[in-house]
Copies of this chain bind each other. A is one copy, B any other.
Amino acid sequence: MDSDTFKDFANEMIEYIINYVENIRDRRVLPTVKPGYLKPLLPSEAPQTPENWKDIMADIERVIMPGITHWHSPKFHAYFPTAQSYPAIVADMLSGGIACMGFSWLASPACTELEVVMLDWLGKMLDLPKEFLSSGGGKGGGVIQGTASEATLVALLGAKARKIRQVKEQHPEWTDNEIVGKLVAYSSCQAHSSVERAGLLGGVKFRLLEVDSKYKLRGESLAEAIRKDKEQGFIPFYVVATLGTTCSCAFDRLDEIGVVANRENIWLHVDAAYAGSAFICPEFRYLMKGIELADSFNFNPHKWMLVNFDCSAMWLKDPTYMINAFNMDPLYLKYDIQGSPPDYRHWQIPLGRRFRSLKLWFVLRMYGVENLQRYIRKHVEQAREFEAMILSDPRFEIVAEVVLGLVCFRLKGSNDINEALLKKINDAGNIHLVPSKIKDMYFLRFAICSRFSESKDIQNSWKEIKLRTDEVFEEQSVSK
C-alpha cells in the first residue's frame, strides 16, 4: 500500500468517522444481529492477493455496523462512559505512525518522558498530594496502565512484595509460600469484579466486606475484619477503596479506611476508575477526602475524560516495591544510563507499550482544563435532570444517592417487574441500559455516557422508559 493510497484511504476514513459520530443518533443503539451473524458475511480464508481499499470501506456498513452497540450514542446509558474524541483519534494516528515501543527509556526517550510529564499535568489537575507526582521531590510518579483491572493487580503485587519483605525481617525462617498463604486483602463487597479477580490472579485471599446503608465501606468494618484475621494468624496486606462503585457509584469512606490502613501498615489502593475524572472539578474533590493516606491511586481518563481507550492513569507514592517485584533485566534490555527516568516495563504486567501519553497531551491541549470541567459538569447536571424525572413519577424510586453521572432507579415493587421493564427497554433497542443488584434488590442503572448527550436526549430516554413502563403495567393488568 503506497502513500497515495494511504492518503485516499485515511481521508475517506476520516469522513466516515465524522459521518458516523455526528449522525450517531440516527442508529439503533443496540444491534439486532444474532450470535454468529458475522461469519457467513466473510470468506472463510484470508485473500491471497491484495484487495481494493474501497471494498473494505464498503464492508464497514455491510459487515461491522450491523453488529455494533453504539457506545457514543446519547441513547446509550449502559455500564459507564467510554471515551471517544477527535484529538485522541489524531494522537493515536501519530502513535501508530511512530510505532515505537516504550519499554525502556532508550527504546524511545520521548515516549517515557512525555508520560512522566503528562501524569504530572493530570495529577495537578486533580490536586493530588505532591507525594504522588514525579515533580513532588520524593519517589512518587505516575504511569499509564491499560485498564483499572491492571492497576489493581499491579498495586496488589507491589503490596504483596512489600509485605513478604516485612514479614521476612521478623520471620526469616518462613518461606514465601508460607507467607503468601497467610496474606489477606480487602475491599468493599461493592468493588468491581476485577478487584476480587486481582486477588485470584495474585493467588491471595480476598475478603469482600459489608457496606453501610449508603453502600460505602467504613473504616470500622475494615478494622474489625483485620482484627479477626490477625487473631487467626492471617496477615492483612492490601485494601482497595473504591471511589464510585460500578453498581451504584458509591464512595467508600477513604478518610476512615486510610487511617486504619496506615495504622496497620497495609497498602491502600484507590480505584476511582469512573469517578476520578470528576476530581478535575474542585467541587467534587470532597469525594476523595483522605487521598493523602493512600499508597496508590488510579482512574481512567479513557472513561470520562475524552481520552480514547486505553489510558488508565495510576500514581504511586513509592513504586520501589512494585519495580522490584517485576524487575528482571536481561542484557538486551540493559543500557548505560539506566537510572533517573523510569523504565516503565517495571511498572506494568506486559513488556511492550505504545506511545499512549500522546492522547493525553492532545486532549488536554485541544480541550483545555475548562472545557473538560464543563464536560463533567454537564453530565452531572443531566443525571440530576433524569433523577428529577424519576422522582416526578410515583411508580419509580431512586435506590442510591445521585452523586455524579449515574442514576440508579427501579419500579417500586418486585424484582420481576423491574426485570420485565429492562427486557422491554433493551428489546425495543431505542435506548440501552444494564441492571445491577445489591442485597437482592434488582435495579436499573442509567448512566450519562455520550459526549453528544444533551438535555433533549435525556428527555427522550425518559419518554422511552415511561412508554415501556406503561407497556409492562398494561401486560401485568391483562395477565391478572
- CB within 8 Å of B: which residues of A? 1, 3, 5-7, 9-11, 13-18, 20-22, 31, 33-39, 42, 44-51, 53, 55-56, 60, 63-72, 79, 82-90, 92-94, 96-101, 105-111, 113-114, 116-117, 120-122, 124-125, 135, 146-147, 149-150, 153, 157, 175, 177, 180-181, 192-194, 196-197, 200-203, 246-247, 302, 308-310, 325-326, 328-333, 335-337, 339-341, 349-352, 354, 358, 361-362, 364-371, 423, 434-437, 442, 445
Chain B residues with CB under 8 A of A339: 35
A111 to B: closest C-beta gap in Å: 8
Report whether B14 and A365 are in contact in the complex, using a CB–CB cutoff of 8 Å: no
Given contact pairs A79-B101, A157-B201, A332-B434, A36 touches B6 in the complex (Cβ within 8 A): no
Chain B residues with CB under 8 A of A371: 49-50
Q: List 18 A-B contacts (CB under 8 A).
A: A1-B85, A1-B87, A6-B89, A9-B90, A31-B110, A35-B105, A46-B121, A50-B365, A67-B108, A68-B100, A71-B99, A84-B96, A89-B96, A146-B352, A147-B351, A147-B352, A177-B177, A310-B354
A303 to B: closest C-beta gap in Å: 9
Copies of this chain present in the complex amount to 2
Chain B, Cβ-Cβ closest to A99: B84
Report whether A193 and B330 are in contact in the complex, using a CB–CB cutoff of 8 Å: yes
A435 to B: closest C-beta gap in Å: 6
Partner of A202, one of B66, B203, B364, B367: B203
Chain B residues with CB under 8 A of A437: 331
A114 to B: closest C-beta gap in Å: 6
Report whether A49 and B93 are in contact in the complex, using a CB–CB cutoff of 8 Å: no
Report whether B201 and A37 are in contact in the complex, using a CB–CB cutoff of 8 Å: no
Chain B, Cβ-Cβ closest to A113: B38
A392 to B: closest C-beta gap in Å: 26
A248 to B: closest C-beta gap in Å: 10
Chain B residues with CB under 8 A of A337: 34-35
Report whether A180 and B196 are in contact in the complex, using a CB–CB cutoff of 8 Å: no
Report whether A332 and B445 are in contact in the complex, using a CB–CB cutoff of 8 Å: yes
Report whether B14 and A10 are in contact in the complex, using a CB–CB cutoff of 8 Å: yes
Known: A3-B22, A68-B109, A333-B434. 14 other contacts (CB 8 A): A1-B367, A3-B86, A13-B93, A16-B94, A17-B93, A20-B98, A21-B97, A35-B113, A35-B339, A50-B368, A63-B110, A67-B113, A157-B201, A201-B349
Given contact pairs A67-B113, A135-B44, A181-B177, A149 touches B351 in the complex (Cβ within 8 A): yes
In whole angstroms, how far apart are the Cα atoms of A330 and B1 in the complex? 45
Partner of A368, one of B47, B111, B180, B328: B47
Give the 7 A-B CB pairs with smallest separation, nearest first.
A67-B110, A17-B97, A84-B99, A38-B113, A6-B86, A147-B350, A67-B109
Partner of A14, one of B11, B36, B180, B445: B11
In whole angstroms, how far apart are the Cα atoms of A84 and B354 in the complex? 12
A238 to B: closest C-beta gap in Å: 14
Chain B residues with CB under 8 A of A370: 48-49
Chain B residues with CB under 8 A of A60: 94
Report whether B354 and A309 are in contact in the complex, using a CB–CB cutoff of 8 Å: yes
A207 to B: closest C-beta gap in Å: 15
Chain B residues with CB under 8 A of A35: 105, 109, 113, 337, 339-341
In whole angstroms, how far apart are the Cα atoms of A203 and B70 in the complex? 40
Chain B residues with CB under 8 A of A96: 17, 84, 88-89, 92, 308
A97 to B: closest C-beta gap in Å: 4
Chain B, Cβ-Cβ closest to A325: B200
Chain B, Cβ-Cβ closest to A176: B203
Partner of A349, one of B3, B46, B122, B349: B349
Report whether A3 and B18 are in contact in the complex, using a CB–CB cutoff of 8 Å: yes
In whole angstroms, how far apart are the Cα atoms of A38 and B340 in the complex? 13
In whole angstroms, how far apart are the Cα atoms of A210 and B423 in the complex? 59
Report whether A309 and B107 are in contact in the complex, using a CB–CB cutoff of 8 Å: no
Report whether B349 and A153 are in contact in the complex, using a CB–CB cutoff of 8 Å: yes
Chain B residues with CB under 8 A of A150: 349-350
Report whether A116 and B39 are in contact in the complex, using a CB–CB cutoff of 8 Å: yes
Report whether B97 and A89 are in contact in the complex, using a CB–CB cutoff of 8 Å: yes
Report whether B56 and A366 are in contact in the complex, using a CB–CB cutoff of 8 Å: yes
In whole angstroms, how far apart are the Cα atoms of A37 and B113 in the complex? 8
Chain B residues with CB under 8 A of A308: 96, 99
Report whether A349 and B90 are in contact in the complex, using a CB–CB cutoff of 8 Å: no
In whole angstroms, how far apart are the Cα atoms of A460 and B246 in the complex? 57
A127 to B: closest C-beta gap in Å: 11
